[in-house]
């Protein structure tokens, strides 16, 4: 595609309205094109102006204190006992990172396509049951595109003793950091709590990921952006944390999985 | 001299919770209004607003002024989190919400002008100058988080036309707002 083609996609990107595969292509182009970056910046600023259309509404006064308390609590935790806090997540020793060779490993490709096939079938069945045709087709496309990217990975997370019924699939793109997590069988989070994803790198760093809630059937779906320093993570975990999420894991682990 | 948003974000990145409080006071009302509009649920809007500022606290160092204004950054976080929640709701709940008035209808009603910001007026005037179809497409994409395909289905319009309207609408809006 030419620069002009990409340029014509920036308006949609500014509204997050591109299909996943186009979005990825545009973001790759942006890395090399200062002109498009500047254009997108302006278009994003324009899109954000639409927020002014809505009448302003004052949130309840207690929310300010709740946020500042949550932030203070995070800091205290991270400065007080960073080692013990991160320790529980290191239960499984991360495997050493072995760079992939460019040559094809047919066995792995076959296994990956079986996994992709199984994922698509299970997604399809869940979706069919929930009868959410519109949104779900878009999701299926998103996962398929995510898994067909050159840097794509999929990790299965298993429930820990705390939640033996739970399981999850995490699909992510190592190049862009885009990630989608599908979880199932999680108990509903108590009030004020939510689940949070963690990325554990080979050198033992535990990086915070997105926060999510489940629906009434214990299912959850979350999109996240893995920070650059977490894209070589070998181990992934989900813990129960305060609803806003924390910087350092404190809660019980519910899901755990490593890259095979 | 008042501190700029970018300076506040820098202070937040260095761990200054007072700066976070100041940023919150500056944008809480517009963000809460936006979240209420997308989610139609006060408790959920509060939760997401909290998430937005906690994410701001955790990721302020990732803010890059060369990629957009701080206001854009905050609004983008708030909107995408709200739309993720919207999408996790059941189809039934979402259908019920479609009956909600779109912000354009609501604010163009002259009797409902209790809170009208100066910026809001500018955007409203600009939107009044673009075509009805372009306006509808932009608002569906922005406030409902609908994909282009979903907008095409909802409005019984060919996908190509929807894309053209979205692009033209946003470009025209930018032009009008830069006057």
Enumerate helices (H) and strands (E) in chain B, giving the number of each: 10, 0
- Calpha distance B152→B137 (Å, rounded): 9
Closest CB to B32: pick one of A48, A58, A135.
Answer: A58
Chain A interface, mutation test: which of B15, B16, B56, B58, most A Cβ atoms within 10 Å? B58
Tens of pLDDT, residue by residue, chain A (260 residues): 888 899 999 999 999 888 888 888 999 999 889 999 999 999 999 999 999 988 888 999 999 999 999 988 877 666 554 433 333 333 333 333 444 444 557 777 788 888 888 888 887 777 776 655 666 666 667 777 777 777 788 888 999 888 888 999 898 888 888 888 988 889 988 888 899 999 998 888 888 998 998 887 888 888 888 888 888 898 999 999 888 788 888 888 999 999 87
Q: Which residue of B has its CA nearest to A136?
A: B87
Residues 201-230 of A with CB under 8 A from B: 208, 211, 213, 215, 220-223, 227
On whether any CB of chain B is under 8 Å from the CB of A245, the answer is yes
pLDDT, tens only, A24-45: 899 999 988 999 999 999 999 9
- Residue by residue, DSSP assigns A124-169 as HHHHHHHT-HHHHHHHHHHHHHHHHSTTEEEEEEEE-TT-TT-EEE
Task: Test B69 with A215 for CB contact under 8 angstroms.
Answer: no
Q: Give the predicted TM-score (pTM) of the model.
A: 0.57
φ/ψ (deg, to 5) at A255: -140, 145
- Calpha distance A53→B124 (Å, rounded): 7
C-alpha distances out from residue B10 to A54, A100, B49, B60, Å: 28, 38, 20, 7
- Calpha distance B104→A74 (Å, rounded): 40
Angle at B150 between CA B145 and CA B154, to 5 degrees: 105
- Calpha distance B25→A69 (Å, rounded): 15
Angle at A219 between CA A213 and CA B46, to 5 degrees: 20
φ/ψ (deg, to 5) at B2: -65, 145
Q: Which residue of A has its CA nearest to B51?
A: A244
Closest residue by Cα to residue B76 from B55, B105, B101: B55
CA distance B1 to chain A (A): 24
CA distance A86 to chain B (A): 17
- Calpha distance A191→A37 (Å, rounded): 41
pLDDT, tens only, B83-116: 888 888 766 666 665 555 555 444 444 333 444 5
Q: Which residue of A has its CA nearest to B24?
A: A64
| Rg of chain B in Å (alpha carbons) | 17
Instruction: Tell me the torsion sign for CA atoms A122, A123, A124, A125.
Output: positive
Residue A148's CB is within 10 A of a number of other CB atoms, namely 12
Q: In this complex, how many residue pairs, one in chain A and one in chain B, have their CB atoms less than 8 Å apart?
A: 185
Q: What ranges in chain A are assigned the alpha helix state H?
A: 3-7, 10-14, 20-32, 34-49, 62-80, 82-86, 106-130, 133-148
Residues of A in contact with B153 (CB under 8 A): 134
CA distance B7 to chain A (A): 18
CA distance A218 to chain B (A): 12
C-beta of residue A55 within 8 angstroms of C-beta of residue B114: yes
φ/ψ (deg, to 5) at A197: -90, 145
């Amino acid at each position: 595609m030419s620069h002009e083609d990409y340029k014509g996609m920036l308006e949609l990107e500014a509204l997050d309205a591109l299909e996943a595969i186009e979005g990825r292509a545009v973001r790759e182009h942006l890395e090399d094109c200062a002109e498009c970056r500047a254009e997108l910046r302006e278009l994003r600023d324009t899109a954000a102006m639409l927020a002014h259309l809505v009448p302003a509404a004052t949130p309840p006064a207690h929310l300010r204190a709740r946020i500042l308390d949550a932030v203070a609590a995070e800091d205290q935790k991270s400065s007080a006992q960073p080692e013990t806090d991160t320790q529980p997540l290191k239960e499984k020793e991360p495997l050493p990172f072995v760079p992939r060779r460019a040559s094809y490993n047919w066995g792995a490709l076959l296994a990956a396509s079986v996994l992709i096939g199984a994922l698509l079938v299970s997604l399809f069945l869940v979706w069919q049951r929930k009868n959410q045709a519109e949104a779900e087709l878009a999701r299926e496309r998103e996962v398929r595109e995510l898994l067909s990217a050159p840097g794509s990975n999929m990790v299965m997370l298993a429930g820990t003793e705390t939640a033996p019924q739970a399981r999850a699939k995490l699909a992510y793109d190592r190049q862009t950091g885009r990630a989608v997590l599908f979880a199932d069988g999680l108990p509903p989070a108590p009030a004020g709590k939510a689940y949070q994803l963690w990325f554990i790198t080979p050198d033992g760093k535990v990086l915070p990921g997105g926060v999510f809630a489940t629906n009434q059937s214990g299912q959850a779906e979350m999109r996240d952006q893995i920070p650059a320093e977490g894209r070589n993570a070998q181990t992934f975990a989900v813990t129960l944390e305060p609803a806003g999420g924390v910087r350092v894991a404190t809660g019980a682990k519910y899901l755990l999985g490593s890259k095979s | 001299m008042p501190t700029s948003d970018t300076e506040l974000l820098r202070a937040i990145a260095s761990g200054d919770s007072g700066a976070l409080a100041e940023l919150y006071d500056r944008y809480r009302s517009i963000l809460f209004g936006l979240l209420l509009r997308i989610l139609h649920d006060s408790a959920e809007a509060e939760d997401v607003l909290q998430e937005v500022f906690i994410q701001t606290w955790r990721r302020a160092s990732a803010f890059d002024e060369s990629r957009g204004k701080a206001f854009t950054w905050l609004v983008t976080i708030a909107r995408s989190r709200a739309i993720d929640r919207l999408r996790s709701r059941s189809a039934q709940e979402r259908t019920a919400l479609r009956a909600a008035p779109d912000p354009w209808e609501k604010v163009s009603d002259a009797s409902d002008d209790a809170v009208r910001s100066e910026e809001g007026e500018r955007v409203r005037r600009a939107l009044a100058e673009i075509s009805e179809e372009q306006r509808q497409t932009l608002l569906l994409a922005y406030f409902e988080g609908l994909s282009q395909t979903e907008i095409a289905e909802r409005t019984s319009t060919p996908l190509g036309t929807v894309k053209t309207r979205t692009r033209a609408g946003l470009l025209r809006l930018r032009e009008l707002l830069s006057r």
